[in-house]
Amino acid sequence: MLYGYAGWTLRIDLSRRQVEKEPLKPEWVDEFVGGRGFTSKILYDENPQGVEPFDPENRFVIAMGPLSGLFLPASGKTHFATKSPATGGYGDSNMGGHFGVNMKYAGYDIAILSGKAETPSYIFIDDDTVEIRPADQYWGKGSTEVEEALKKELGEDFQVLTIGPAGENRVNFACISHDFGRQAGRIGIGAVLGSKNIKAMAVRGTKSIPVFDPKGLLKKGKETYAACREKPGFEGWTPEGTAGITNWCNDVGALPTRNFQTSHCDYADQINGKAILKELKITDKGCFACPIPCGKYGRAKTKLGEVYVEGPEYETLSLIGSNCELSDVHAVAYANYICDELGLDTCSAGAVVAFALECCEKGLITTEDMGMDVKWGDLESVAHILKLISSRQGIGDILALGVKGAAEKIGGDSDKFAIHVKGLEWTGYESRNAPGMMLGYMTADVGAHHSRCWVLGSDVANAVGGNKDANVHDLISGGADFDRIPKADHRNVVPLVLKSQHLRPAFDILGTCRLQYMEIGLETEYYEELYYCATGKKLDFNTDLLTLSEKIWHLNRMYNKREIPDFGRKYDYPPPRFYEETIPNGPNKGHVMDFEVIEQMLDDYYAARGWDENGIPTRSTLEKHGLKL
């Protein structure tokens, strides 16, 4: 028996309307453990080489980890993977909430979707009953509207994920929504589901998950919850969640502003965590079994209307807020709601809207193209552009490609301020004076995404404290003067980046949220003991799990090499703005990342990874990690 696992893989061929269930392969468990490990393995092995993202044969993989659903702190993560329409390479995204938990309770660790439904459909899963049902009545409707309707139709105990009109129209940064505010946002995951004519999935599970040591797991789980409550960061983190870092990012000159033209604004106090608590919040909202609920459910009132929404979280505050120069937290929350309902990733959506506004500013997109006179800091303009993108009307059809694809169509010098890596828009940390953070963005397997690496605190400590070992916690808590930050030293950032790149995604393998470790400091020993009680297997976090995370990193790099004809070093370069334009204001005024430094960091990174000078894993590196590709 595979303790800690539901034990089954669900295969759904949408074209043939066939459902098959097969036992979970023990070799997958032994070699890749779960979650992100499963998705990387399956996508490389089973996706046809050269398949296009919207081809019916592009696999859509859902996977849970061994700790998912076991009533352990934040054990509600679901991992999704497919070939990304944004990058053309490996793409994955994960989501909190309750969906994956119920997939395991229904009996499935993995679901693999292939083919395309003939007509708009949704997938219905009720334990052993799996059906492809018609969804014509839901097509064209908003994500939260459809989730509410399906819960009303099926029952509140069904957990539902949906796509919005953006996914139906194959917008390259369409997301999946669940639990009225949780998203699998990145890499265009919702667009691939839309290309398969799947509007939603609804699951109810009532089975149990076998565990190796039930009494030991209960005891250790209680100890883990108690440890979370006793951590110094527990009280400080929960009230504001991710939004609590907004002012610190602004103070250290890392808050994207006006399409990353600069890194500091003078209205951060109006769109930060405290503004959410004062102006919007109704209640906290957490995912399955979470002791530190970061979601804030609230009400926004604007000239365009009044809405209820979860958020905004930090990434939305930075990418839709300061990056589009929306200086009112109600306006940001309203734009957040529009993205949720249309099914747009708020990170990429904010980056694309800001890119469009700058194109208008520079005359590369006309008022006639846009259909109205749009301007920075105007909610009506932002809402208008988001709706054009979702419907792919007029200029929205081009912007729906993301900033990389749109710049290729628009031309001029727009590629210089299209802020992305590998086709995926940069998230909420401006990095012209943060070499480690920049390198993490540059080399992330899915494109520019902070979830793969976050070393900004170390970058700031390096610059302000003069060494990488300065007390990062004190810096974030305001223990330094950030009026003017010296130029950061790019040397010795590679080990920090590698550690973070192996550490942060490790939690995606287990099926838990990383925030308990990252934000409040829960020790990794808890995860080792919980894993043993659940599975009966020993797993050293700092050797076994991080080595597996490294192996997956090489595997995903090879997937990109296989699928993108000229993939290599040039795909790791940051946008030209970051090495051609100095920051005009704030504590990092005058800083720019020298291109020679970028090249040197890549050389050092590739050497440390065991990749060649073009960024491709060598044969010996692959063999060292047991990858016979």
The β-bridge relationship of strands 121-126 and 198-204 is parallel
At 480 the three-state DSSP class reads coil
pLDDT digits (tens, 9 = 90+) for 86-128: 999 999 999 999 999 999 999 999 999 999 999 999 999 999 9
What average pLDDT is seen over the chain? 96
pLDDT of amino acid 482 = 80
Burial class for 367, CB neighbours closer than 10 Å (0-12, 13-18, 19+): exposed
CA distances from 311 to 62, 298, 359, 400, 561 (A): 25, 7, 28, 24, 37
Please determine, for residue 462, whether its predicted confidence score (pLDDT) is greater than 90: no
Q: How confident is the model at residue 241 (pLDDT cuts 50, 70, 90)?
A: very high
Residue with tokens 């229904």: 106
User: Of 510, 534, 545, whose CA–CA distance to 1 is shortest?
Assistant: 534
Q: How confident is the model at residue 473 (pLDDT cuts 50, 70, 90)?
A: low
pLDDT of amino acid 468 = 46
User: Of 597, 446, 419, 432, whose CA–CA distance to 508 is shortest?
Assistant: 446
pLDDT of amino acid 236 = 82
pLDDT digits (tens, 9 = 90+) for 415-444: 999 999 999 999 999 999 999 999 999 999
Strand spans (E) along 74-181: 78-83, 90-95, 110-114, 121-126, 129-134, 159-162, 176-178
Are residues 28 and 41 in contact, defined by beta-carbon separation less than 8 angstroms?
Answer: yes
User: Of 22, 4, 87, whose CA–CA distance to 424 is shortest?
Assistant: 87
Q: How confident is the model at residue 403 (pLDDT cuts 50, 70, 90)?
A: very high
Instruction: Tell me the residue length of the chain.
Output: 629
Phi, psi of 62 (to 5 degrees): -120, 130
pLDDT digits (tens, 9 = 90+) for 34-68: 999 999 999 999 999 999 999 999 999 999 999 99
Please determine, for residue 477, whether its predicted confidence score (pLDDT) is greater than 60: no
- The reply to whether omega before 435 is within 30° of 0 (cis) is no
pLDDT of amino acid 101 = 98
pLDDT of amino acid 478 = 53
At 95 the three-state DSSP class reads strand
DSSP state of 318: I
pLDDT of amino acid 469 = 47
Please determine, for residue 465, whether its predicted confidence score (pLDDT) is greater than 90: no
pLDDT digits (tens, 9 = 90+) for 275-293: 999 999 999 999 999 999 9
pLDDT of amino acid 184 = 97
Residue with tokens 């089954």: 8
pLDDT digits (tens, 9 = 90+) for 199-237: 999 999 999 999 999 999 999 999 999 999 999 888 888
For the segment 242-250, the average pLDDT, to the nearest whole number, is 94
pLDDT of amino acid 476 = 57
pLDDT of amino acid 481 = 64
Please determine, for residue 464, whether its predicted confidence score (pLDDT) is greater than 90: no
Phi, psi of 370 (to 5 degrees): -80, -25
Please determine, for residue 467, whether its predicted confidence score (pLDDT) is greater than 70: no
C-alpha 79/C-alpha 65 separation (Å) is 8
CA distances from 289 to 69, 190, 225, 293, 512 (A): 8, 26, 10, 9, 10
Residue 85: how many other CB atoms lie within 10 Å: 28
Please determine, for residue 563, whether its predicted confidence score (pLDDT) is greater than 80: yes
Are residues 371 and 387 in contact, defined by beta-carbon separation less than 8 angstroms?
Answer: no
* DSSP characters over 278-315: HHTEEEEE--TT-SS--EEEEEEEETTEEEEEE---HH
For the segment 265-273, the average pLDDT, to the nearest whole number, is 97
